[in-house]
Amino acid sequence: MNHYDYLIVGSGLFGATFAHLATKQGKKCLVIDKRSHLGGNIYCENIEGINVHKYGAHIFHTSNKQVWDFVNSIVEFNRYTNSPIANYKGKLYNLPFNMNTFCQMWNVFTPIEAIAKIEEQKAEVIKEMKKAGITEPRNLEEQAQVLIGKDIYERLIKGYTEKQWGRKCKDLPPFIIKRLPIRLVFDNNYFNDKYQGIPIGGYNKLIEGLLKGIETKTNIDFFNDREYWKSIASKIVFTGKIDEYYNYCLGKLEYRTVSFKQEIHDCPNYQGNAVVNYTDYEVPYTRIIEHKHFEMFGEEIEKCPKTVISKEYSTECENGLEPYYPINNEQNSSLAEQYRALGATEKNVIFGGRLAEYKYYDMAPIVEQVLNRTFF
């Protein structure tokens, strides 16, 4: 029987990065994944010559040069800049909230005019709350309006958020939106980070590079024979659901998931942008992703005669569905803390990633965490 230093359960970004760095330290690793492919949620399928983000749009962004240099040492990244658009009842608005948005919303043209309009709207909301005897926002709806006013909340936040969470904004806690960045410049770059892009050739190139020379097995469910898998390695790196690892002994954590309806269109350009959010509640999907715009620019778009879009739907994560996001309410946060306390007692198990830590992570912080934590 082969004996490994690390059995890594899950081949997403945490697991693959861990395996790569451990192997460089001379450790023997085995990576297993219950899916039929490697890469977790950043896996891409090539359809009509287009790298389709099978589990939703992923844009790598960071201000950490160490992280950026590390991923670019595996595969070169392109110059993609995330500039989503919001469609509210047939009207388009630029995101994030910037001078283009304010011009489209209120026909204002200078930062001074925009600030005045926002402050006017915020003051109206606060006045209404005080009149009702409310001193602090009690829910997400009040919190968002205190931060940005009624117009932007109702057109660009309310419907999208309610679809994403499956709950009315009045029933969501205020801490979900701690701040809403307002940019008083005509700049549609969604991220403030110094570096952003997509791996040239898709995210599979990144995962393949990280796992080069490392033994991997797909279609393997750790829980079908966990005692066997535990017996073949000195330590386990677990990236799945922490509550499942402990057989839900304290109760089940709640998750949101997303599903996709994929369409192939006989035209080179469907919507002219990688991501268009649909922010009115009546449209059932949260956004449409047109995948070619992540990697094709200029004449490349027209040279590829077809395009692939994905309509994204947000739902509760029921049995059999893949969990995506933790639901950060008081009940789940308390339960997750109890599971983390259990995890902290383990000497030979490392929990890492969104599901194992029950925390929302972008990709770069995952890589940064593995680079900077003392594992080996």
The catalytically annotated residue of 151, 215, 322, 362 is 362
The catalytically annotated residue of 6, 183, 190, 243 is 183
35 tagged catalytic: no
Residue 300 CB neighbour total at 10 angstroms: 11
CA torsion sign, 355 to 19 to 82 to 303? Answer: negative
The catalytically annotated residue of 80, 287, 290, 358 is 287
280 tagged catalytic: no
Question: Is 153:143 a contact under the CB 8 Å cutoff?
Answer: no
The catalytically annotated residue of 79, 179, 227, 299 is 179
136 tagged catalytic: no
Cα separation, 22 vs 218, in Å, equals 20
Residue 142 identity: E
312 tagged catalytic: yes
Question: Is 163:134 a contact under the CB 8 Å cutoff?
Answer: no
Q: State the alpha helices, DSSP H only, in the chain.
A: 13-24, 65-74, 99-106, 111-131, 140-148, 150-152, 158-165, 203-210, 226-231, 242-245, 299-303, 330-344, 354-357, 363-372
The catalytically annotated residue of 35, 167, 226, 256 is 256
330 tagged catalytic: no
The catalytically annotated residue of 162, 295, 312, 368 is 312
187 tagged catalytic: no
Q: Is 243 exposed, middle or buried (0-12, 13-18, 19+ CB in 10 A)?
A: buried
324 tagged catalytic: no
**Which one, of 3, 72, 76, 11, lies nearest residue 38 by Cα?**
11
Residue with tokens 């972008």: 362
Q: Which residues are catalytic?
A: 179, 183, 256, 287, 312, 360, 362
